[in-house]
Amino acid sequence: MQSFIHIDSPYYLKTENIDSPADWREIFGNDNPLALEIGCGIGDFIVKTAQDRPDINFIAIDYYNKGCFKTCRRIERHGVTNVRVVRVEAREFIAEKLTRGSLAAVYINCPDPWPKKRHRKRRLVNRQFVELLREYLAPGGEFNFATDFADYGIDVAGMLPGVEGMENRLAPDLYRHEVDGYHLSKYMLKFLAEGHKIYFMQYRKA
C-alpha cells in the first residue's frame, strides 16, 4: 500500500475547500476560459499545454495522490501559474464543482483501459460519460481523447459519431495516430518508442 504524500503547494486545492460549484474566477484571479484534464498523471502534458496557452485556466485532476504531488512539483519547477490540481474522482468533480457550459476544453490522455473483457464496463470514456461532458462544454468547447490501447481507441472512435451535438474535428478520419501540436506525455513517448500507436480523437461541441 502506498503511503499518502502530503501536498503543500499553492497550486493544489483540497476538495473540501472548494465551493460547490466553485468560483473559478476567484480561484484563478481572472475570468480566462477554463479547461479540464482528467487524469493528469505526473503533469507533463498539462504543464506543456498550459505553457502554450497562458490565456486559459487549467484544472488538472487525478485520483492518485502521488500523481497530484508530482504534478504540483512540475508546475512549480516550470513556473506555471495557470494550473490548479485536485485529487478527486472525475464524475464527482464535474457534478459538484463545475457549472454547465463552463469548459473550453477537456483532455483525457491514456486512461486505464481495463483490458479484460469482464472489466470493460469500468472504462471511463463511454457514450454516457461523453454526453455528460457535452453538457459542461461551452459552445465550441473541445473534447480531446487519446489512448494507447487499440481496442479502447477503436471502441470510442466508433461511438463518438453517434453523440448528438458533437462535431469531429479530424473528419473524415474517426481517429488519427498523430495530431499536430498535441503534446505527448512521457508515457506516450515510451509507448511509441516500443513501436505501438496512440489513438487520438478530437471533437467540438456544436
Does residue 78 belong to any structural domain of this protein? yes
C-alpha cell at 38: 482528467
Does residue 3 belong to any structural domain of this protein? no
Does residue 82 belong to any structural domain of this protein? yes
Instruction: Round to whole Å and give the CA distance between 134 and 142.
Output: 9
Q: What is the pLDDT along the chain (206 residues), one digit of tens a residue?
A: 557 899 999 999 999 999 999 999 999 999 999 999 999 999 999 999 999 999 999 999 999 999 999 999 999 999 999 999 999 999 999 999 999 999 999 999 999 887 788 878 889 999 999 999 999 999 999 999 999 999 999 999 999 999 999 999 999 999 999 999 999 999 899 999 999 999 999 999 99
Helices then strands, counting H and E runs in the chain, come out as 7, 8
What are 151-161's pLDDT values in tens digits?
999 999 999 99
The residue from 31, 55, 62, 112 that is catalytic is: 112
C-alpha cell at 91: 464524475
Would you say how long the chain is, in residues? 206
Does residue 1 belong to any structural domain of this protein? no
What are 37-62's pLDDT values in tens digits?
999 999 999 999 999 999 999 999 99
Total domains present in the chain:
1
Does residue 153 belong to any structural domain of this protein? yes
Does residue 104 belong to any structural domain of this protein? yes
Burial class of 143 by CB neighbour count within 10 A (0 to 12, 13 to 18, 19+): buried
Output the pTM of the full model: 0.96
What are 24-41's pLDDT values in tens digits?
999 999 999 999 999 999
Burial class of 174 by CB neighbour count within 10 A (0 to 12, 13 to 18, 19+): middle
Does residue 5 belong to any structural domain of this protein? no
Instruction: Round to whole Å and give the CA distance between 125 and 152.
Output: 9
Q: Measuring CA to CA, which residue among 60, 12, 15, 53 is closest to residue 36?
A: 60
Does residue 6 belong to any structural domain of this protein? no
Confidence (pLDDT) at 4:
84
For residue 172, the domain's CATH number is 3.40.50.150
| 112 among known catalytic residues | yes
Which H or E run includes 24? helix 24-28
Domain span at 150: 12-205
Confidence (pLDDT) at 2:
59
DSSP code per residue over 32-87:
--EEEEE--TTSHHHHHHHHH-TTSEEEEEES-HHHHHHHHHHHHHTT--SEEEEE
